[in-house]
């Protein structure tokens, strides 16, 4: 093609000559052994720099998220029951003063107190000669008999509908408000007044920390309730 007043852009067509670039011969994928048997490569294209079958350099053997080892499993006991006030948890304690607790455990809010009172006594074990001041909710025969079997003297008023009421030490029963004062001190802390912890272990640990703080602030009066 010629352009006016310009030099020719392209010359006439010429015969293309085959140029020998002298490329190396392509190596065979299967190498031959001296005995004639072929040497097979690992399946999956394993890299020669290491790794098992199917492994590639810089890559995992299979796709997917990384493995997680040592992570604790989620979930655990949750003593949450539905009662008249909604979802709540009961805290059962045995106290010997306004700031010292001997035993503490949790129960769902819809379970009766008497059965868990026996759990607390079983955790205490034999305690010969001590008086056990209990709320009227623990006045059932099984609870009182268990307290007597442990050497405790139950001090609890009978219910008004009892056909065979018993006498109890009314003067000693006035000291039962010690445990009520313990609950009052615990409720000064938000973690105890309202439960925001999902698991019992977390909630109970917070209660124990609160009781430690109360113990450090208030000296013990050495009374068993």
Q: Domain residue spans in the chain? A: 81-159+167-217
2: helix, strand or coil: coil
Contact 155, 171 (CB under 8 A): no
Look up residue 147 and give its two tokens: 């307290």
Q: What is the CATH number of domain 81-159+167-217?
A: 3.30.420
Distance CA 172, CA 155 (A): 8
Extended beta strands in 96-201, E state = 101-108, 131-133, 153-155
Nearest to 92 by CA among 129, 131, 135: 135
User: Which has more confidence, 20 or 168?
Assistant: 168
The predicted structure's pLDDT at residue 39: 52
Residue among 104, 114, 108 at smallest CA distance from 85: 108
pLDDT of 4 above 80: no
| pLDDT single digits (tens) 45-77 | 444 444 455 455 555 566 666 565 555 556 778
Q: Which range has the worst mean pLDDT, 22-26, 187-191, 208-212?
A: 22-26
pTM for this prediction: 0.56
Burial bucket for residue 95 (CB in 10 Å: 0-12, 13-18, 19+): buried
Confidence label for 28 from pLDDT (cuts 50, 70 and 90): low
């Amino acid at each position: 093609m010629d352009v006016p007043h310009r030099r020719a852009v392209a010359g006439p067509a010429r015969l293309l000559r085959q140029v020998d670039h002298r490329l190396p011969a392509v190596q065979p994928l299967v190498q031959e052994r001296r005995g004639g048997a072929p040497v097979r490569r690992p399946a999956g294209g394993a890299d020669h720099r290491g790794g098992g079958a199917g492994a590639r350099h810089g890559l995992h053997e299979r796709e997917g998220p990384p493995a997680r080892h040592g992570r604790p499993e989620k979930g655990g006991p949750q003593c949450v029951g539905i009662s008249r006030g909604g979802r709540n948890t009961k805290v059962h304690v045995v106290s010997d003063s306004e700031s010292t607790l001997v035993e503490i455990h949790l129960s769902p809010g819809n379970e009766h107190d008497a059965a868990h009172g026996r759990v607390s006594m079983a955790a205490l074990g034999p305690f010969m000669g001590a008086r056990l001041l209990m709320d009227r909710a623990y006045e059932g025969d099984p609870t009182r008999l268990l307290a007597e079997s442990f050497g405790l003297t139950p001090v609890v008023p009978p219910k008004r509908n009892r056909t065979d009421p018993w006498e109890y030490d009314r003067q000693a029963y006035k000291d039962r408000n010690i445990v009520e004062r313990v609950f009052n001190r615990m409720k000064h802390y938000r973690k105890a007044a309202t439960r925001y912890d999902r698991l019992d272990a977390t909630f109970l640990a917070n209660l124990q920390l609160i009781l430690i703080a109360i113990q450090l602030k208030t000296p013990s009066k050495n009374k068993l309730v």
